[in-house]
Structure 1
Amino acid sequence: MSAIVTFRQNIIDSVKAAVPELLDVDWYDGLFDEKDVADWTLKTPSARVAVMNVPTEHHTTGEMNACLRVVVVIIDENRYALLDGDARAWELVEKVAILANLNQFGDPNAAPATKVKFKRLSDPALRREGITVGIVEWQSDLMIGTNRSKAREFIYFNGQQVTQVPRSQVTGRTQIELASGAVTTETLDITPEE
């Protein structure tokens, strides 16, 4: 599977775990309109996660540093009073922003998230329908490709990095002369510790 798709799924899983109030968390392609928002309000509060790429930088190891622009759209609606969805939307936006700040989302090839921005989307048509939309955006850098320096520095066998070497056993034998003049032989097996 694509490293970027896997990273996006890690973000979705992290948002689900950190913000359990969100009833529906899924991905989207980065663009949305009123029809999409109407579909997403079927199960509110909900969130949609998009990962879009911005300029990629080459790295000295031969890998590429994909500077990913991550956008999370949070949708809620009024429930008990006029415009009460606003406070809940801000609360959800804050939770996602705090989660994103300096998070690697469990990927060792990702840098901590930076440039976190968040806002409430102001749209009179959505406000009249009682829908609130919040957006959290940040940048996550993800190294993709093959690390050629690692390939030069480590030993590989059948395409796998060798992490254990064969163990050896040393046998030592000695003769000991006792004070009585007798000679005895002792044998000792030494196996290196792991």
Structure 2
Amino acid sequence: MSKIVDFRQRIVDTIKVMYPNMDVDWYDGLFDEQDIADWTVKTPSARVAVMSTNGDHEVTGELNARLRCVVVVIDENRFVALDGDARAWDYVESIALKANLYNFGDPNAAPATMVKFRRISQPVLRREGVSIGVVEWESDLTIGTNRVREREFFYRPDGSMITQVPSSTHTRGHVHTAAGLQRDEQTDFDASED
């Protein structure tokens, strides 16, 4: 699976945990009045889009993709006129606070920065009792193969990285002294003593 698609799903899953009763899904980054009409069938709802803006090369050989992440929140009036506005602001504010300096549990993502949030005002939607809020931020995501990890670490035949070293080592050597004498030495090293 694409790392970008996986990252987008992590954002969707995070919002679902925050708001279990909210209809959360992804979208392609563009929406119009028909999309909003479809999304208001099940409110409150949120739609998540991840759009790449540009990328830089890393010393590891990976590409650092700066992703522009967008969450659109839609709610509508329920009990009194304009009460959807307060809820939309609450959703937008909570999602912005969650996104701020958070990597959504992805070890290849940097904490989110440049968080912006706002309400979209549109007279036709307001008259229909629909409230829309948008949260945007930037997340850096490294994609590709980390060449440093390939060169600097040891791997098992199954491809998994060796991360543990022996706790004790027994060595035996043949030593030549400066005077030309020879002798055998034996050394025991226990890493647990450090």
| TM-score normalized by the length of structure 2 | 0.83
Matching of residues 163-182 of structure 1 within 5 Å: 163-164=163-164
Rounded to whole Å, the distance in 2 between the matches of 1:55 and 1:169 is 49
What is the deviation of 1:129? 1.1
What is the deviation of 1:81? 1.6
CA contact 1:19–1:95 (8 Å) conserved in 2: no
Show structure 2 runs of 5+ residues with no match. Answer: 171-187
Rounded to whole Å, the distance in 1 between the matches of 2:98 and 2:23 is 17
Show structure 1 runs of 5+ residues with no match. Answer: 171-189
Larger radius of gyration: 1
Rounded to whole Å, the distance in 2 between the matches of 1:111 and 1:89 is 27
| TM-score normalized by the length of structure 1 | 0.83
What is the deviation of 1:93? 0.6
Quote the residue 2:15 is aligned against.
15
Q: For the structure 1 residues 90 and 61, does the alpha-carbon distance in structure 2 shift closer, same or farther, using more than 3 Å as the test?
A: same
Equivalent position SS for 2:40 = helix
Matching of residues 1-194 of structure 1 within 5 Å: 1-20=1-20, 22-158=21-157, 159-164=159-164
Rounded to whole Å, the distance in 2 between the matches of 1:23 and 1:108 is 27
Identity of aligned residues (%): 64
Query: Cα RMSD between the aligned structures?
Result: 2.0
What is the deviation of 1:166? 7.6
CA contact 2:22–2:43 (8 Å) conserved in 1: yes
What is the deviation of 1:167? 8.9
Deviations 1:151-181 (A, max 9, x none): 11001233332234689997xxxxxxxxxxx
